[in-house]
């Protein structure tokens, strides 16, 4: 194709480029702008200095995020493998079953867990029928982690499964032929080959877990403030946009660093593993 018509085709992308500058790049500049100004618009470091107070919250968010991500990985990896071993028709049904809960409002699903976990809730009244004393579950760290794992588990299963479904089976067989037992085959062959799926699953679970605000309020009962909760309050209750912006800036930078580290493990830059 000659270069003139190629240039014309490139121009088709220009509305999108304008859109992305206006609504993706500019808002991020505003986050930086609000972080370094006060309510009257004057330059200040106050918001950045105020961040020190929130270090424990940041650390807790990261820690909860790591815990939820690891648990998701442990649950998802075997399941993805099991699904990928089924016939094509069964695979399609199971994948649908994994994705279906994602289309329900996560607010309602989280609320439904409240009903399950409460001291007088469904699980405890069920246990009570067998004479077991009620277990205190709601408003604990475990309940918050459970909420995260529950909500984001499909994001871990899907990418790992889609890599495993495309795995070259002759490679796995070669590995077995070379005398690998089941564990060796999984460790030396299946895990390395499904690495791109694992990496994208980890980021897809870690990012929403670190930044969540609803789950911790509902299942943690307010005693496990996460960074998302603090940001939400700045914008919806105390209307301190400047502090909220600086908290978001730090959250964003933290996550970018995590992504950069993760991306060193995977090569694909375009296209999604879904």
Judged by CB under 8 A, which stretch of 30-38, 45-53, 132-140, 183-191 contacts other proteins?
Answer: 30-38
Counting contacts by CB under 8 A, is residue 118 touching other proteins? yes
Chain positions 68 to 97 lying near other proteins, rule: CB under 8 A, are 75, 78-79, 82-83, 92, 94, 96-97
Q: Which of 17, 39, 135, 191 binds other proteins (CB under 8 A)?
A: 17
Counting contacts by CB under 8 A, is residue 36 touching other proteins? no
x/- letters, 151..190, toward other proteins (CB under 8 A): --xx------------------------------------
Query: Residue 121, Cβ neighbours under 10 Å: how many?
Result: 16
Q: How far apart are CA 248 and CA 256, in angstroms?
A: 12
User: How remote is the C-alpha of 114 from its chain's centroid?
Assistant: 21
Counting contacts by CB under 8 A, is residue 127 touching other proteins? no
Query: Residue 190, Cβ neighbours under 10 Å: how many?
Result: 18
Counting contacts by CB under 8 A, is residue 31 touching other proteins? yes
Q: What are the backbone dihedrals phi and psi of residue 43, each rounded to the nearest 5 degrees, phi first?
A: -65, 135
Residue (189 or 243) nearer to other proteins, CB? 243
Q: Which of 45, 111, 174, 257 binds other proteins (CB under 8 A)?
A: 111
Closest approach of other proteins to the CB of residue 272, in Å: 5
From residue 111, give the alpha-carbon distance in Å to each of 36, 37, 151, 211, 214: 37, 38, 12, 19, 10
Q: Which of 210, 215, 219, 243 binds other proteins (CB under 8 A)?
A: 210
Q: Which long-range contacts (CB under 8 A, 24 or more apart) does 234-239 make?
A: none
User: How remote is the C-alpha of 90 from its chain's centroid?
Assistant: 27
Name which of 100, 107, 103 is nearest 147 in CA terms: 107
Residue (122 or 174) nearer to other proteins, CB? 122
Chain positions 38 to 57 lying near other proteins, rule: CB under 8 A, are none
Query: Residue 25, Cβ neighbours under 10 Å: how many?
Result: 10
CB 144 within 8 A of CB 224: yes
Q: Which of 63, 125, 173, 222 binds other proteins (CB under 8 A)?
A: 125
Q: How many residues bind other proteins (CB under 8 A)?
A: 85
């Amino acid at each position: 194709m000659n270069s003139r018509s190629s240039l014309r085709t490139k121009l088709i992308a220009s509305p999108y480029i304008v859109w992305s500058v206006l609504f993706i790049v500019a808002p991020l500049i505003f986050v930086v702008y609000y972080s370094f100004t006060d309510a009257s618009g004057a330059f200040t470091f106050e918001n950045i200095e105020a961040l020190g107070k929130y270090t424990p919250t940041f650390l807790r968010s990261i820690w909860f995020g790591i815990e939820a991500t690891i648990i998701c990985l442990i649950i998802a990896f075997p399941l993805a493998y099991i699904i990928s071993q089924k016939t094509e028709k069964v695979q399609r049904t199971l994948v649908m079953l994994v994705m279906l809960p994602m289309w329900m409002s996560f607010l309602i699903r989280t609320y439904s867990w409240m009903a399950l976990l409460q001291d007088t809730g469904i699980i405890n009244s069920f246990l009570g029928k067998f004479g077991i004393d009620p277990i205190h579950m709601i408003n604990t760290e475990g309940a918050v982690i459970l909420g995260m794992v529950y909500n984001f588990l499909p994001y871990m299963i899907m990418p790992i499964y889609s890599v495993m479904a495309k795995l070259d089976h002759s490679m796995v067989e070669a590995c077995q032929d070379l005398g690998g037992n089941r564990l060796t085959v999984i460790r030396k062959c299946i895990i390395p080959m499904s690495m791109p799926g694992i990496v994208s699953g980890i980021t897809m679970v870690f990012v929403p877990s670190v930044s969540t605000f609803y789950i911790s309020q509902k299942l943690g009962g307010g005693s496990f403030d996460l960074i998302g909760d603090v940001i939400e309050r700045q914008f919806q209750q105390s209307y301190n946009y400047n502090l909220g912006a600086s908290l978001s800036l730090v959250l964003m930078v933290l996550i970018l660093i995590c992504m950069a580290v993760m991306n060193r493990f995977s090569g694909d830059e375009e296209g999604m593993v879904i």
